[in-house]
Structure formats: C-alpha cells, structure tokens
Structure 1
Amino acid sequence: MKELRDILAEYARCTSSMGLATIVSTTGSSYRKTGARMLILPDGRTVGTLSGGCIEEEVAQRALHVMETGEPALLSIDTRRRFGCHGSIEIFVEKIEPGDDFMGYLSDCISSRRPAHVKVIFEAGHSQRGSYPEDEVHMGIGGHEELILPPVRLVVCGDSPGNEALMHLAKTLGWDCILLEHPEDSTLAVDERTAIVIKNHHFGRDFVSLRWALSHSVGYVGLLGSRKRKQELMNALVAEGWEPEDASLNHFHSPAGLDLGAEEPEQIALSITAEILAVLSRHHAGFLRDRQGPIHHILCTSAAL
C-alpha cells in the first residue's frame, strides 16, 4: 500500500504526461505478483518496483516511447533466461495524463477506505482501464482484474512507551495510524482492515479498551501483557455480564506479537506489526523454508497491505 500511495502522490505532483506499468500476468517464480505498478516520470525517474531491480530500467525506457507515441504496449519478459528468477511476466505499459479518471478513482478509494475494483483490458491492441462493479469478476483472455483493499488502519489504545516505534514502523508500511487514549468515547468507524493494539499497562484502562475493541468487527485485536493478565481481563468482562462474540475472539491475540525473541521497543513493534500483517493476509508466519508449495497465495484479487 505504501508503494501505491507513493505512486499516487508523485502522480498528483506531476503536470506532464507519465507512463504507468502494471504487471498483468506471471508464470512460475517472480519477485512481484500481478497488480504491482510502477510510475514513469517524463525524465525517466520511476516510483514503485516491478522486480528486484533487474527490469525497471528496461521498462522505463519502453514507457518513454509509449509516452511519446501514445500507443500502449504489452511486454513479455522471460526472467528465466536473463535473470534466473525461473519465471516470466507480462507488463502492460500505458500513457496517463494529469487528471486521469482512473488514478483519481484509486486515490478516492484509498482516502475513503473503499475497495477499488480495477480492470485492465489489452486485447488486440485495445486497452482500457477503470473501475467495475463488484459482481463483475471475469474479464476473459487478455484482461487483468484485481481488488485493491483499503490500507490497514492501526488503532493504538494507550499512550505508553513504545508507541513511537510501533507507529513509525506502521507508517513505513503505509498504514494509517490513530492513537486513542479514551476509546470508549470515540466515534471512530472501524472495519475488517482495522487492527487494534491495546497497550495501556493499566488494568482498568485495558479493561475498558478491550471491551470496546471486542465489541466491533475488526481484523485484529492485540493485547500486550501476560496470559495471566489476559485471563483476568476476560474474567472481569464475563463477571460484568458481557461476553465477546466468537467472531471477535477469533481475531483476538494475546500476548500480542510473533515469537521473535523481542525485548526492546523497536523489536516488540516489529513483532506486533508482523503478526498483524500475517493475520490480515491469512498467513501463518512460519519460516518460508518450511512452507510447502508457492510462498505467495494464488488469488484472483490483490490485497494491498
């Protein structure tokens, strides 16, 4: 998501024609998957990446030609022969202008936290970009489609040590960050792309924050502290006559974070953000060397985290 936001920010600043390169198909192993984008500026500078750095210059040079002629291009690059990535990719390169409706649509979706339904059609030399209805999901041969989800929203309950490291790392990932000292008085709208981290280090405030967090349908709720403290808080909730719904408990993680051996605030922040990323992307956060099959999920939609 940070990369897409960087692209949209640079696009908004530019007053001349630009190039937009999008990976629309991959075969075998590739560094980036379908939906990855790169913006090419008039002077050849680029924003975003399509690989580990091995094809960006070539794509940028082709994009400059596309910007000059206005004719889109579909590039097929066999990375097995030249780069040893054991795969091939197809990249759609097109010319875009300031005020482009499609880029405005992406920007509006991000700012309003709405999913962006995107299609790219490039059959028989014809290209089309834009939004499409949620129930229109098949483009056929020569088309690429994706669902770009809203950015992760990190809500931190509790103004305590370690917040700076946690929120800095989250912002580096392109997430939205909000600090709530009194969540029970908040009218903040939350959704399935919201992650709530409770770190008051005070039983009463943790109790209020946890009751508020588990009353909403969100993607992740994390509570710092020991298992004993978690159980005491849950017992207090039950004693009050209130029980969280099962769906809320499925996304409740306490102690929060992955088992990374974290001790310092920056390490703890890494542990928590890594767990949030794993939960929202539906991965188990194990060692990639132990994963059977592809290291990326094969999805018909893209979730920009």
Structure 2
Amino acid sequence: MNSAETRTLIRALDAALLRGQRAAVASVVRVRGSAYRREGTRMLILDDASQVCMLSGGCLEAEVVESALEVIESGAARVVHYDLSEDATWGLGLGCGGSVDVRIERVEDDAVTRGWLEALRQGEAAALCVPLTADGQDGGRVLLRGDTVTGTLSDPALQAFALEAARARLHTRDPRAATLSAPDGQELFIDLSVPAPELLIYGAGHDAQPLSAQAVALGYRVVVVDPRRAYLTPERFPGAVLLPLAPDELQAELRLNSRTQAIIMNHHLDRDRVCLWHALNSEAAFIGMLGPRSRYTDLLDALAQEGHLPTPAQTARVHSPVGLALGAEAPEEVALSILGELMAWRRGASSTPLNGHEGPIHQTYVARSG
C-alpha cells in the first residue's frame, strides 16, 4: 500500500475516532495466483458500513464490509478466504483466477495499536507482526518500531523469528508486507510502515512540474532544488519541498540518504555538472540524468578535467538517459517515463509489456538489501 493511500486511511480513521465511531482495518495477508492488489493492502471499515480505500477492483469490498461489521461487534479478529476464481460466489463474472486471504481486526486502544498507528501517521519504519493461527486463537502481536519492541507473541520462538524477519524486510530496497512460514510451520503476517521514498529533482524548469506532481500523487516526498527563487513557488510545485540553493551550497546544505532517488534536469551544463558530482558523492541509490547519453559523458569529462574522478561504484548508480522507452515527447509523457523506470527499479520489475504473459500478473519480488 503506497504512502498516499496510507495517509488517506489514517486521516479517515482519526476523524472517525474523534467522532466516537468504531472501526476495523482489513488487510490482505496472502495472495495466490492473480489478484488486483498485493499483501499489505488495507481498507478501513467504519461501524456505519462506510469504507475508505479498496482491497480489490470492487469484487471483495461488499463481502469484507459485512465481515468487518461482525468483527467490530465481537472484537474477535478473523482471517477470511476469498476465491476470486469462483464466479458463482460473486455473480460478477470477474474471473480473476486467484484467491486472497484478508485479516480483519477491530481498532483498539492498546499500546501496540497506538504505536502502529503513530508509525503510519509519521511515515516511520516499523513492522507489525501477527500470527495467522488456524484455530483463530489470539497469538498476540508484536511491534518493531526503530529499536523499540512493543507487545509480545505467545510463542517466544516465533517472536524471535518475527523480529529477525521484520528487520530484514525493513532493510530491503522496496520493503513489502508478506506472510512467512516460521521454521516450525507457523504462519506469520508482517505488515510494514516505511518512510515515503524521496524524489530529489535538481532543476525547477517547466518539465520538472509534471514530474513533481505525478510523484506527489504516487506518494513520494518530493524535493525540488534550484537557485532561481522565482521558479520555486507552491503554485508551480504543489506538495513539494522547495530549496533555493545555489550550486556551491549543495554540499553543505543538502544531504541525500539511501532512500533518495535523484533526477538531474537543470538544462544548464554548469549546474548539471555540479549536481551530478553532488549526487555521486551522496548516498542516493538512484541518479537519473535527463538528456542523451553523450551529455552525461561530456559531464564526466568536465568533472575529470577538474580532478573529480568518480568510482565505478558511484557511476553504477547513474541511469542515463533516464526513463523507459515509451516514445515520450511532452513533459507529462517524459515524467511518466521517468517514474515508470523508478517504480520498476524499486520493485525489481522487468518493465516489459505484460502482453502474452502467462500466470500471475504480479511478479514475485525478491528481497534485496540496499
């Protein structure tokens, strides 16, 4: 579930609790075959049967709401199995060809829930670990938030496995929720809260505007840096952090971390050269250069003449030209091309057309560090 959806859900939940409404959260904990969404997708259901966010393309929601209302009344969490290949069940002729398991839990006022919701509100790295017991028994919950552990599982061995697995998943490039099997066969759902990915745009020109707007819509924390203050206005870049920094201020004033994906698009050779060197000497995991490959090699030559020789490890993070080969021309199309590559890179996807693909649409993602 992306950060934009999470913010929507949390805002709705906070408003409902302020009104005194009871609520439940339904989470996809397992997907087999093809399904619309993946593990970790959440939906909020209120006691008046209203809902926020979706678990599917529309085939599950009504059934999930009915089950959630029962959970809100009883307080007993449950896991419900939905087979999307059984058209007769839904009468909608959807034929998705897969199945999903959905865990539904009433929102309570306890330490684990408070900590989990606060992590989601703040966009902090955290993992909520919940056993999926076959008999419906409460196996406890444990929350890993930074170095703090809140709550316990009834099985100490399972808790040790949960915390180790949670830490490992939080340190992958694109942390994703999942249901795992412990060594003894017990199943454990690990839900994740992760900081929003950061997109740093060097340059506030006309073509940077749709890139920023589309990235904000996708849940990125967008930062735009440019020395021209007149270009850095909320009207041009709604939702973005705006930094009016001159090239010689970057090293001292702007630090990039391993979640940062940087795009250099100043359309100015001198600024691009300085920004490229700044990005290469940062922890940014992805550095995209707008324009032809020859422009990038010219910038490397210019850096070499200044005595700046990047290492192979540094240049391996550079994507030039940045973007997928979509035939993009207009700024909005170029933005789509760039963000498409960023999504494929984050999730380890091939970015090839799905046409003719057999089997589940969503590929299996391999956990990677970095």
Using structure 2 for the length normalisation, give the TM-score.
0.74
Cα distance, 1:294–1:143 mapped onto 2, change above 3 Å: same
Structure 1 residues 4 and 273, CA gap change in structure 2 (3 angstroms)? same
RMSD value, Cα: 2.6
Equivalent AA in structure 2 for residue 159 of structure 1: A
Contact 1:147/1:302 (CA < 8 Å) preserved in 2?
A: no
When residues 301 and 60 of structure 1 are mapped into structure 2, their CA distance, relative to the original with a 3 A threshold, is: farther
2:29 is paired with a residue whose SS is strand
2:331 corresponding residue in structure 1? 265
Residue of 58, 63, 83 corresponding to 2:63: 58
Paired with 2:285 and 2:362, the residues of 1 have a C-alpha distance of 20
Do the aligned residues in 1 keep the contact of 2:216 with 2:222 (CA within 8 Å)?
Answer: yes
Matched, 1:40 2:85: no
Contact 2:28-2:38 within 8 A present in 1 as well? yes
Q: Which of 17, 26, 34 is the matching residue for 1:29?
A: 34
2:104 equivalent among 93, 98, 108: 93
Q: Is the 8 A contact 2:199 2:260 kept in 1?
A: yes
Would you say 1:117 and 2:115 are equivalent positions? no
Unaligned runs of 5+ in 1: none
What is the CA-CA distance between 1:31 and the residue it aligns to? 1.5
Correspondence list, 1:146-295, <5 A: 146-181=191-226, 182=245, 184-185=250-251, 187-289=253-355, 294-295=360-361
Aligned 8 A contact 1:110 1:150 in 2: no
Closer, same or farther: CA 300–7 of 1 in aligned 2, 3 Å: farther
Structure 2 Cα separation of the partners of residues 136 and 180 of structure 1:
37
Q: Is the 8 A contact 1:75 1:92 kept in 2?
A: yes
| Uncovered stretches (5+) of structure 2, i.e. residues with no partner | 88-93, 145-161, 167-180, 227-244
Deviates most, 58-67 or 293-302 = 293-302
Partners of 2:9 and 2:114 in 1: CA distance: 10
Partner Cα distance (2:137, 2:342) in 1: 40
2:163 and 2:222 mapped to 1: Cα distance? 28
**CA displacement at 1:136 relative to structure 2:** 4.1
Which amino acid in structure 2 is aligned with residue 202 of structure 1?
H
Q: Structure 1 residues 172-181 or 98-107, which shifts more?
A: 98-107
Per mean C-alpha deviation after superposition, the further-off stretch among 165-174 and 139-148 is: 139-148
Q: Classify 1:65/1:272 alpha carbon distance in 2 versus 1 (closer, same or farther; 3 Å).
A: same
* Equivalent of residue 5 in structure 1, options 4, 7, 22: 7
Q: Deviations over 1:166-201 (max 9, x none)?
A: 111001101111111236155444333211111111
CA contact (8 A) 1:106 1:116 kept: no
Offset from partner CA, 1:235-283 (integer Å, 9 cap, x none): 1112222222333322211222111111111111111111111111112
Partner of residue 108, structure 1? 119
- Over 3 Å counting, the alpha-carbon distance change for 1:148 and 1:111 in structure 2 is closer
Is 1:193–1:280's contact at 8 Å kept on the other side of the alignment? no
What is the CA–CA distance in structure 2 between the aligned matches of 1:302 and 1:42, rounded to whole Å?
Answer: 40
1:114-162 CA distance string (max 9 Å, x none): 4322212231323444424752456542421244442211111112112
Shift of 1:32: 1.4
Of stretches 22-31 and 140-149 in structure 1, the one that deviates more from structure 2 is 140-149
Cα gap change, 1:297/1:150 in structure 2, threshold over 3 Å: closer, same or farther?
Answer: farther
Matched length? 302
Amino acid of the structure 2 residue aligned with 1:60: V
Identity %: 33
CA displacement at 1:203 relative to structure 2: 0.5
- When structure 1 is superposed on structure 2, of 61-70 and 236-245 the one drifting more is 236-245
Partner Cα distance (1:106, 1:239) in 2: 52
Code of the residue aligned with 1:80 in structure 2: it is S
- TM-score by length of structure 1 reads 0.89
Q: Give 3-state SS (helix, strand or coil) of 1:24's partner.
A: strand
1:131 to 138, 143, 148: 143
* Secondary structure of 1:209's aligned partner: helix
Measured in 1, the distance between the counterparts of 2:110 and 2:14 equals 8
Paired letter, 2:217: T
Note the C-alpha offset of 1:55: 0.6
Q: Aligned equivalents of 2:194 and 2:271: distance in 1?
A: 32
C-alpha distance in structure 1 between counterparts of 2:165 and 2:74, whole Å: 32
Q: What does residue 177 of structure 2 align with?
A: none
